């Protein structure tokens, strides 16, 4: 059956409430397989008669592809009954023979989808590549009844254990969702990769296992879904995406960039990278409060380190005459410098800086001549590293911070302590803040090969722990700064939805 482009039962705002199909969901539990067999036998077996010739079999058996489809639709419905799942319907969306497709999902999945629509298991809203939106799907009331009858649970479903964790990317990667990019990874053979790749894979699988066994959640949300604003680079406007706060959305990969093992190597994935800092400050790990330690301006720190120098304490503070306050000016210069580190020339740096600013702001309206003034002032005050700016240095620095993050992750994984990275910041149980700072300083020292002195990493906590604030209040008394600290301190009150998820997590491990 062909999908009807005019079949549009969903409103535009409902279509925004969607996420891409995750083809890595799997389960080998007996009752799950019984459920899949029942659906297959009732609706699909007649369309796939058994062939006596093995060579005629699809690369991935159709029943396996149905299983992937149904499990992901079930999880989407379970997390939020209004959540839709986007599925590409063109052949270019599928690449079966790939190390990144361990279940060998092929274009046969599209045939399965069409059959499922035809027999009334799923409904859809047709999408087109021109609109930048793939077709959205969701389970019908009939399939939902089947889900309930089967008594499935989130604990029955997991990521396939053979999923590749070391990836070679075609281009640069960003924290924002890049699911629209087709075949963003490059095939490779281990023999052509660095010798350390086997250890990288072992370390990262151990880390993912620790994440899977840990309870990582946001204490203030009733439903485990966050609506996150982001800039859609295809449609060239801000939009929203749904981020599932779930153990099944906590998988981390290490990605190298530009088809080069010497570039990138950062850690990507995990829902905490897909939500804003306002949400991250409410993260608890194993029901304990966390702090996000931000190693502010790590790339500037590394550039000074490459010159054998300790960085200045306030590299972005410049006393320039402008219409901005000192704090606004500092934020502009910091953003401009970090953009310039990644840019190949000043023109592209200025353009990228403006693209990142909010519509209608004074920062968005800054002209090249004004940005030149800011960047020249920074270079004059930071002459030892000026030659690195607008010289495409970012991907090399990302390789350095990737190796530093690997040391931090491996250190805490061996202790059984989950640490969540957002590239140059780390979310960790507040008990380990001091240890994180020490490990980070040692990792930077080792990366820069400082022979005679220990390198000092600059760190800025995103907020102060409440115990620290109260202790400081007893010594210093009330002040405007203290009032602001109270206002910025995250809410640690556990809502009912969080408590229910915590109880379920504990029940799974009893």
Per-residue pLDDT, 104: 73
Q: Where are the domains of the chain?
A: 1-162, 316-381
CA distance 263 to 392: 11
CA distance 287 to 136: 35
Kindly report the backbone phi and psi dihedral angles of residue 291, in degrees, each rounded to the nearest multiple of 5, phi listed first. -130, 140
pLDDT tens-place string over residues 10-48: 767 777 778 888 888 889 999 999 999 999 999 999 999
- CB-side exposure of 285: number of CA atoms within 13 Å? 24
Which parts of the chain register pLDDT below 70? 1-2, 8-9, 11, 51-60, 96, 102-103, 128-132, 174-183, 232-236, 296, 450-472, 485-491, 507-510
Query: What is the DSSP annotation of 433-444?
Result: HHHHHHHHHHHH
**Taking the CB of residue 279, how many other CB atoms lie within 10 A of it?**
19
CA distance 51 to 213: 42
The sign of the dihedral angle between the CA atoms of 18, 24, 28, 33 is positive
CA-CA distances (angstroms) from residue 271 to 61, 211, 291?
A: 31, 12, 16
Per-residue pLDDT, 453: 57
Q: Which three-class secondary structure state does DSSP give residue 62?
A: helix
Instruction: Mark 72-87 as b/e (b = at least 16 C-beta within 10 Å).
Output: bbbbbbbbeeebbbbb
Per-residue pLDDT, 177: 42
């Amino acid at each position: 059956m062909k999908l009807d482009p005019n079949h549009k039962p969903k409103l535009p705002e409902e279509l925004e409430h969607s996420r891409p199909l995750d083809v890595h969901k799997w389960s080998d539990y007996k009752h799950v397989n019984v459920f899949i067999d029942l659906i297959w036998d009732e609706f699909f077996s007649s369309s796939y008669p058994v062939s006596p010739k093995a060579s005629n079999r699809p690369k991935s058996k159709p029943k396996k592809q149905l299983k992937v489809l149904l499990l992901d639709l079930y999880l989407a419905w379970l997390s939020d009954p209004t959540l839709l799942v986007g599925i590409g319907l063109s052949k270019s969306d599928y690449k079966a023979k790939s190390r990144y497709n361990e279940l060998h999902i092929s274009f046969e999945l599209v045939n399965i989808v069409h059959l499922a629509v035809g027999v009334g298991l799923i409904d859809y809203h047709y999408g087109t590549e021109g609109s930048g939106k793939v077709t959205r799907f969701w389970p019908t009331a009939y399939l939902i009844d089947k889900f309930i009858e089967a008594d499935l649970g989130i604990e029955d479903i997991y990521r396939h254990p053979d999923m590749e964790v070391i990836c070679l990317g075609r281009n640069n990667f960003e924290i924002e969702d890049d699911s629209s990019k087709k075949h963003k990874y490059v095939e490779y053979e281990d023999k052509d990769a660095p010798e350390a790749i086997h250890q990288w894979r072992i370390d990262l699988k151990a880390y993912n296992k620790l994440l899977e066994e840990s309870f990582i959640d946001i204490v203030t949300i009733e439903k485990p879904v966050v609506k996150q604003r982001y800039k859609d680079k295809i449609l060239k406007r801000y939009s929203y995406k749904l981020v599932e706060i779930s153990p099944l959305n906590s998988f981390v990969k290490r990605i190298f960039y530009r088809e080069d093992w010497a570039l990138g190597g950062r850690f990507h994935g995990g829902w905490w990278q897909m939500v804003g800092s306002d949400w991250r400050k409410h993260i608890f790990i194993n029901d304990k409060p966390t702090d996000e330690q931000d190693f502010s301006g790590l790339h500037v720190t590394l550039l000074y380190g490459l010159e054998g120098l300790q960085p200045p304490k306030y590299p972005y503070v410049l006393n320039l005459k402008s219409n901005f306050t000192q704090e606004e000016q500092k934020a502009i210069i910091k953003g401009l410098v970090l953009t310039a580190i990644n840019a190949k020339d000043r023109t592209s740096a200025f353009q990228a800086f403006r693209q990142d600013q909010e519509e209608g702001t004074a920062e968005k309206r800054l002209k090249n001549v004004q940005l030149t003034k800011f960047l020249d002032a920074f270079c004059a005050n930071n002459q030892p590293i000026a030659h690195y700016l607008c010289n495409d240095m970012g991907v090399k620095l990302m390789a350095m911070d990737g190796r530093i993050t690997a040391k931090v992750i491996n250190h805490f994984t061996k202790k059984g302590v989950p640490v969540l990275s957002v590239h140059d910041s780390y979310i960790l149980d507040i008990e380990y803040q001091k240890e994180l700072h020490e490990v980070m300083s040692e990792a930077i020292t080792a990366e820069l090969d400082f022979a005679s002195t220990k390198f000092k990493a600059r760190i800025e906590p995103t907020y102060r722990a409440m115990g620290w604030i109260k202790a400081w209040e007893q010594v210093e008394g009330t002040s405007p700064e203290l009032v602001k600290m109270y206002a910025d301190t995250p809410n640690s009150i556990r809502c009912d939805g969080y408590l229910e998820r915590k109880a379920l997590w504990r029940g799974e491990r009893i």
